[in-house]
Structure 1
Amino acid sequence: MRKEYWAQKTIKKTASIIKKDILVTNLSGQIIASSNTKYLGQSHKAAIHSIRRNVPLEIEEEDMKFWHVDSPCIVVPFEDETDTHGAVIILGHPDDIRDYSHLLKLNAEFIVSQEKERADEHNSQLSRTQTLSYILFNQNRQIQNYNRKGILEHLGLNEALTVGLIQIDTTSKAKIKHLRKMLNNWKLPNDDIIEIMPQEYIFIFKANKNRGRTLKEIKQFIEKQHEEDTLNKTLITLGSLNTGVQGLIQSYNEAIALQKLIRSLGHFEGVHTYKEYELETLCSNISHFTPNNETSLVSNYKKLLDFGEDKYLNETVEAYFRNHGKLVKTANDLYIHRNTLNYRIKKIHDITGWDPNTIDGIVLLRIAQMLYTKSK
């Protein structure tokens, strides 16, 4: 039974209190744990009899030869959920140890129950972590089967979550161990941690009223709980808050894309959320996955830079975005009349084909500007 850890615990917890030799057998009567190692592996005839009939036995000195034992003892079978698991044997005269036998039986049954619960919880957690890993690392596979209500509840995907990608930039075993301990301290019952390598982890944070229900609050929680020495070496990127299988995948992909962006900017530590860099991350993905689109957008934007002797259109675009498209503030920043600004905006439209007064035009212009800045 599960490597018989429960038997070792039973011995350890009781032998130091009761100054008698204590043996624990498995279901077949073989001694699997003992306060005296000379008994390990022996098959105990009285234990077999006691287990099969589910009755305790008291062996006096005159009965030792019949039961093939070298000491008087009491044998007590123990159960868990009506199933007998083995027997506890206390060596000594029955009159001296009778009061202990019932307590030892209860203790053994409690430990067996406790170990089973822990093993079941561990297997459930392992199964959940394996399934989440499969979903994240096999996104091209058919994963519709994981959308069933029962599976979503088991995986905790019916709750709002954000996927955090955590990397520590060190080879120090002490600091890696410290990071792992810190992550376990953050972990709530419904969270999951997937270890990619000793320096890299995926942490699936669940929204919580105490930890935070928004990305900003979760970021603040991490920064508050994070110890400064470790934070200085650790980069944490958080995807957006989502639910469901597709939401898990989306948040994970966002965390990866954001991590690449942050590193490309020369930052290797701190806590960063996708929402803070959403447009920058989008531009980074355009550069990485569709370089032809990047080339087209940047080359179109460069036309603005070459217009006019003082190349004022680039300055106009910068001010326009700095003031979030507010015309009066932009004109004031540039020390020009509103009509002059309108002329320049029309000129931008004529040169690039993108009208800053429309949603499509302003988005394309902004993305092109950011790609151009990145390319420099």
Structure 2
Amino acid sequence: MLDIDTNVAKTIVYRTSETIGHNINVMNAKGIILGSGDNTRLGSVHEGALLAISQDRTVELTQQSANSLQGVKPGINLPLHYKGRVIGVIGITGAPDEVRHYADMLKMTAEMIVEQAYLLEHTQWQNRQQEEFVLQLIKAQPDDIHSLIHWSVQLGIDLSLPRVAAIIELESVDAKLMHDNRALKQMVYLLQNPDRGNLIAMTSLSQLVILKPAFLDGEAWNPELESVRIDKLLQRIPANMNLKLNIALGHYFDDVLGLAKSYKTAQETLKLGKLLHPVKTKYLFEDYSLQILLSGLKNHWRGNALGQPFQLLIEHDKNQQLQKTFTSYIEHLGDQQACAKSLFIHRNTLRYRLEKIAKITDTDINSFQGLLSLYLGQMMHQE
């Protein structure tokens, strides 16, 4: 357990001296004055405090006895305890008969402040440990599993609980909110209250990762339920926060390294979602799963072979007219009349463009295999 520090000592002095009307000194376990209404005494050793510490008892000092000690004035010095250990001393300056009736109240108040400070410090330490644990989880490798399991036991986190990763990215019109992390702190508060078992960590000055319990219905992974939960979170964000917020939900994996993979899919979902639908604020892996899965083939000979026909179309279609035509043709499931109408062109113009696409890509666009080949190639080039 740590000793009393300067901040705690100053807090005790501030919260007690005005009420009592006498000078208050707070000493650490070495008898050094860390807090006092008399700034000239700060940093000096209080021999009365050393006596109270060594004998673990209240020490009353009259003017006569104070004169025989160094750095001491008349008053009462009471040892402060935390979990059975003497961690410092609080002293009241004044004739013992005049200040004695304050002693018990002063000691109780000081020890309450000390306990609150240590509880806060412990909570902050736990939060820092949990945040570091989350950051290690989302980049875990097979060799890390044993140490992570040991760490989770120490933190009281159940790694067997199914979880899925989500990313929250914040943009604020108020630069100060982002600079001092107030926006992120407010978002963390919303995520933690009410408590739903979320594990949260800051991955950058503008992003949070949330490892959420995955089985909201208690039985299975259901992205639709998660989507509803995200909508409710968005509704709870105060309008005065002036935030542009993006949320990306990754895919659920049930193996040991599932959270690292889930976080990766959340990252890719956020990146692709912002690119394809920049006006949206919510992006679900299931809505971009094909593109994300195909992106894993990039820079691989299989992906190069699969994407080659559509790459030829890109190279010969500088104004992207043919690419837009193909996109509409896919969206209308090959219905040429509906496709032509949506593009505001004649059906003969559409046929001409489709024939041109087939010629450039050397693909039979009227066959399912040819159409699928171009479609998958298009998916791979959407990042």
Runs of 4+ aligned residues of structure 1 deviating over 4 Å after TM superposition are 169-172, 206-210, 227-232, 241-245, 300-303, 313-322, 364-368, 373-376
1:218 is displaced (CA, Å) by 2.6
Structure 2: how far apart are the matches of 1:244 and 1:16? Answer: 60
Structure 1 residues 375 and 157, CA, compared in 2 at 3 Å: closer, same or farther? same
> Does the 8 A contact of 1:232 with 1:269 survive in 2?
no
1:269 is displaced (CA, Å) by 5.0
Structure 2: how far apart are the matches of 1:160 and 1:232? Answer: 30
Show the counterpart of 1:179.
183
What is the one-letter code of the residue matched to 2:375? Q
> Does the 8 A contact of 1:239 with 1:254 survive in 2?
yes
Task: State the secondary structure of the residue aligned to 1:278.
Answer: helix
Q: Deviations over 1:162-193 (max 9, x none)?
A: 32223334685234245223312223264344
> Does the 8 A contact of 1:239 with 1:253 survive in 2?
yes
Structure 2: how far apart are the matches of 1:243 and 1:155? Answer: 17
What is the one-letter code of the residue matched to 2:129? S
Q: Deviations over 1:208-244 (max 9, x none)?
A: 979x983223321222123457676332212134567
1:114 is displaced (CA, Å) by 2.1
What is the one-letter code of the residue matched to 1:109? E
> Does the 8 A contact of 1:195 with 1:201 survive in 2?
yes
Structure 1: how far apart are the matches of 2:199 and 2:81? Answer: 34
Show the counterpart of 1:329.
none
Task: State the secondary structure of the residue aligned to 1:267.
Answer: coil
Task: State the secondary structure of the residue aligned to 2:73.
Answer: coil
Show the counterpart of 1:274.
285
1:81 is displaced (CA, Å) by 1.1
What is the one-letter code of the residue matched to 1:265? L
Residue in structure 1 matching 2:208, options 201, 209, 213? 201
Task: State the secondary structure of the residue aligned to 1:28.
Answer: coil
> Does the 8 A contact of 2:251 with 2:286 survive in 1?
yes
Structure 1 residues 191 and 314, CA, compared in 2 at 3 Å: closer, same or farther? closer
Structure 1 residues 147 and 244, CA, compared in 2 at 3 Å: closer, same or farther? farther
Structure 2: how far apart are the matches of 1:36 and 1:69? Answer: 12
Structure 1 residues 207 and 11, CA, compared in 2 at 3 Å: closer, same or farther? farther
Task: State the secondary structure of the residue aligned to 1:148.
Answer: helix
Structure 1: how far apart are the matches of 2:71 and 2:330? Answer: 95
Structure 1 residues 162 and 365, CA, compared in 2 at 3 Å: closer, same or farther? farther
Q: Within 5 Å, give how 1:1-376 maps onto structure 2.
A: 1=3, 3-68=5-70, 71-137=73-139, 139-140=140-141, 142-146=143-147, 148=149, 151=152, 154-169=156-171, 172-176=174-178, 177-188=181-192, 190-206=197-213, 214-227=225-238, 233-241=244-252, 245-265=256-276, 267=278, 270-286=281-297, 288-290=298-300, 292-293=302-303, 295-296=305-306, 299=309, 369-372=375-378, 375=381
Structure 2: how far apart are the matches of 1:58 and 1:209? Answer: 62
Show the counterpart of 1:308.
none
Structure 1 residues 53 and 156, CA, compared in 2 at 3 Å: closer, same or farther? same
Structure 1 residues 11 and 257, CA, compared in 2 at 3 Å: closer, same or farther? same
Structure 1: how far apart are the matches of 2:116 and 2:58? Answer: 23
Structure 1: how far apart are the matches of 2:83 and 2:53? Answer: 15
Task: State the secondary structure of the residue aligned to 2:131.
Answer: helix
Task: State the secondary structure of the residue aligned to 2:282.
Answer: strand
What is the one-letter code of the residue matched to 1:173? A
Structure 1 residues 253 and 172, CA, compared in 2 at 3 Å: closer, same or farther? same
Show the counterpart of 1:309.
none
Structure 1: how far apart are the matches of 2:158 and 2:108? Answer: 36
> Does the 8 A contact of 1:234 with 1:268 survive in 2?
no
> Does the 8 A contact of 2:198 with 2:210 survive in 1?
yes
Structure 2: how far apart are the matches of 1:198 and 1:46? Answer: 49
Structure 1: how far apart are the matches of 2:56 and 2:334? Answer: 82
Structure 2: how far apart are the matches of 1:244 and 1:17? Answer: 60
Structure 2: how far apart are the matches of 1:55 and 1:171? Answer: 58
Range with greater deviation from structure 2 (177-186 or 20-29) = 177-186
> Does the 8 A contact of 1:20 with 1:91 survive in 2?
yes
Number of equivalenced pairs:
329
Structure 2: how far apart are the matches of 1:122 and 1:208? Answer: 29
Structure 1 residues 30 and 261, CA, compared in 2 at 3 Å: closer, same or farther? same
Show the counterpart of 1:347.
none
Unaligned runs of 5+ in 1: 304-312, 323-350
Structure 1: how far apart are the matches of 2:32 and 2:327? Answer: 86
1:88 is displaced (CA, Å) by 0.7
Structure 1 residues 244 and 65, CA, compared in 2 at 3 Å: closer, same or farther? farther
Residue identity (%): 17
Structure 1 residues 168 and 10, CA, compared in 2 at 3 Å: closer, same or farther? same
Show the counterpart of 2:319.
none
Q: TM-score, normalised by structure 2?
A: 0.72
Structure 1: how far apart are the matches of 2:91 and 2:184? Answer: 41
What is the one-letter code of the residue matched to 2:164? T
What is the one-letter code of the residue matched to 1:251? S
Structure 1 residues 276 and 225, CA, compared in 2 at 3 Å: closer, same or farther? farther
Structure 1 residues 140 and 278, CA, compared in 2 at 3 Å: closer, same or farther? same
